[in-house]
Structure 1
Amino acid sequence: MPEVPDYIRIADDVIEDVRSGKLTAGDKLPSIVELRAKYSVSHGTVQMSYARLEALRVIRRHQGKGIFVTDPATWMREP
C-alpha cells in the first residue's frame, strides 16, 4: 500500500485537530517554519498542505497576519 504524501498527512492532522476540538474557529495556525520543523519536511510541502486546507475551506490566509481556522460548520460534515 502506498505511503500517504506528507502534505496530505499534515493537512489531515490539522483537520483532525479541528474535529477533536483542539483547534477552533479563529485559531491561528503555526507558521510554515514551525510546521517544517515539527514534521521535518520542506517549505513547499507545508505550502501544499496549507493550499489543500484552503481549497477545502478549512483555513483562511490573512496577508501579514497569519493563517486561521475557519468555522467548521461551513465545511465539516458528520462521518
Structure 2
Amino acid sequence: MAVIYGILLSVPEKLVGRYGEKVRRTIGTAIARGDIITFTWAEYRGDLAFVILASSREGAERTLTELSEMPVYVKIIGIEGG
C-alpha cells in the first residue's frame, strides 16, 4: 500500500503580515530542491492556510523542520492509497 505525504499549515491572522511571505519563500525553496510537488493556499477569516503535497516522507520532514521555526501550525499527514 502506497502512502502520499503532505503538510497542513496554518498562519493565524495576527501573524500573516510578519510570516506569510516567509512561509511562501520556504515553500518555494522546498519546491526548488524537489521536496514539494505542489501546494495550494487559501485565506479564511484572515488566517492563511496551505495544503502541500510532498515528494516523500523525508521531503515533508525537511520542510516541516524549516516551517516549525516559525510560530505557525504545521503538521505532516499521510494518505494511504491502494
So what's the TM-score if we normalise by structure 2?
0.39
Higher helix share goes to which structure? Answer: 1
Using CA pairs under 8 Å that are at least 6 residues apart, name the structure with larger relative contact order, 1 or 2: 2
So what's the TM-score if we normalise by structure 1?
0.41
Higher strand share goes to which structure? Answer: 2
